[in-house]
Each structure stands twice: as C-alpha cells, then as structure tokens.
C-alpha cells in the first residue's frame, strides 16, 4: 500500500473533506491518501504574499511525510507554488496540481481553456503555462469572478458560472478541453460531462492520478525528478 501526501497549503481544513471525497471516487487499489492542511497559514493563496507564507509549513509537512515513507507528495493548489523548491528539497516525486492538469489536458485535445475564479489568478497561471511549454496549447482563460471566499459561500453559483464560462470557451475560443483551476466534486464532474460538449479536467483528479503513477514508478523503479540542473539540491541537503 503506497501512501500519498496531499497538502492543502492553507491554514484551514475547509477543503480537506472534499479532497478526500474526490480522491476516494477515483483512487486505485493500493494507494491511500494522507490529506493535510497547515496548522497556521493564509486562508487562500490568491496573493503572492500568501503563497510565500504557506511554503515553509507546507515543506515541513512534506519532509515529515517523506521520512515516514510516503511515496509521493501533492501541492493542492493550481498555482503550483513551491513546486520547484520542494523538488530541490525532497527525493520523493512532488506533483503540482496545475502542471498535472495542463499535461493531461494536452493529451485530450489540441487546445484547452482554463476556467479561473478571478482575473487576479490569470498572470501567475499564464506564466506557469509558458514555463511548461503549454502556452501554444492554451486557447484562453475565462474568469467567473468569484474568489475562494465566494466559492465557499456559494459553491452552486460557482459551478453554474463555471459551466457557462466553459461553454463560452468552447464556442468563442476554440477550446477542445476545459480545465478547472479549482477541484470540484464527483457530482459536478458528472454534470460537466452532461452539459459540456468537450472533456473537462478536474485538477484534483488529474494531480491525484498523476501522483499514483509517480508513486508507483518511484517504488518500483526508483524514478523521480532529477537531482541536477534546475532541481539540484542545496549542498547542505545532499546525501
């Protein structure tokens, strides 16, 4: 049984139960989740300052999980904040939600659109798409103009707006795949399959399944990110 750590990098357990529900709907036999949030941290990561504040506590949870035998770690935020730093510091595979979602989307259609909560989110996510080499596959961003506090207060309204934004991305932007920037629920995934004419990638589903693959490869073949060039560890961390 391989255990995979999922860190919700916020100082709140508001997302933990939904995360477990989503994972349980798709996880393969032989994998078990360890879902954690920060004991102290920002309420969300909509600001760069909040993102930086979350990194230290998140890395501490990942170090602990590695020592205790977890086979992979997941950063549960589409921003992928701290992904490169965590790969420098740790040996186990570390999966970024945004990276996994975009890589999956690129295998399902030629161009994809990303539905975001606020326009504030777009610059960082667009930069990440460029760094991943995905900018030519990106049809558009569409914003529903609801941040995390609004999402928690009115999830049904958020999901209604997401469907509408997805339909507009297909009709006007040429999207062949819709990518959400926030994990949803199995029920909403079913609704999206009914109402959207193209595949929808839930980033939570994408990063969990990617982490299952990486955990399996790590345990069976010792495969993880390279300790060199971009992910070279600082001297004090080298074995």
Residues of the chain scoring pLDDT < 50: none
CA gap 40, 200 in Å, rounded: 33
Which H helix or E strand runs over 68? none
Tokens for 182, please give them.
């926030």
pLDDT at residue number 140: 98
pLDDT at residue number 238: 64
Contacts for 197 with CB less than 8 Å, ≥ 6 apart = 170
pLDDT at residue number 97: 97
CA gap 123, 131 in Å, rounded: 12
Other beta carbons less than 10 A from residue 7's beta carbon: 27
End-to-end alpha-carbon separation of the chain, Å?
27
pLDDT at residue number 88: 95
Q: What angle do CA 177, 170, 122 make, to 5 degrees?
A: 70
pLDDT at residue number 239: 56
Cβ pair 146, 161 in contact under 8 A: yes
Give the HSE-up count for residue 59: Cα atoms under 13 Å, Cβ half-sphere: 17
Tokens for 147, please give them.
């941040």
CA gap 119, 146 in Å, rounded: 9
pLDDT at residue number 53: 95
Cβ pair 215, 221 in contact under 8 A: no
pLDDT at residue number 186: 86
pLDDT at residue number 157: 92
CA gap 72, 36 in Å, rounded: 14
């Amino acid at each position: 049984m391989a255990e995979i750590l999922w860190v919700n990098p916020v100082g709140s357990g508001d997302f933990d139960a939904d995360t477990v529900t989503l994972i349980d709907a798709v996880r393969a036999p032989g994998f078990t989740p360890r879902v954690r949030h920060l004991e102290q941290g920002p309420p969300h990561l909509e600001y760069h300052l909040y993102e930086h504040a979350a990194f230290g506590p998140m890395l501490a949870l990942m170090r602990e999980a590695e020592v205790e035998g977890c086979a992979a770690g997941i950063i549960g935020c589409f921003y992928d904040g701290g992904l490169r730093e965590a790969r420098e510091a740790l040996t186990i595979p570390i999966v970024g939600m945004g990276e996994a979602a975009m890589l999956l989307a690129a295998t399902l259609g030629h161009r994809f659109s990303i539905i975001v909560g606020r326009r504030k989110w777009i610059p960082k996510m667009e930069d990440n798409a460029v760094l991943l080499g995905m900018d030519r596959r990106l049809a558009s961003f569409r914003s529903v103009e609801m941040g995390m506090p609004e999402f928690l207060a009115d999830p049904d309204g958020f999901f209604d707006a997401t469907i509408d934004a997805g339909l507009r991305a297909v009709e006007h932007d040429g999207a062949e795949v819709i990518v959400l920037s926030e994990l949803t629920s199995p029920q909403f995934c079913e609704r999206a399959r009914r109402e959207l004419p193209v595949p929808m990638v839930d980033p939570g589903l994408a990063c969990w399944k990617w982490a299952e693959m990486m955990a399996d490869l790590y345990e069976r073949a010792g495969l993880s990110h390279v300790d060199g060039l971009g992910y070279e560890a600082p001297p004090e961390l080298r074995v």
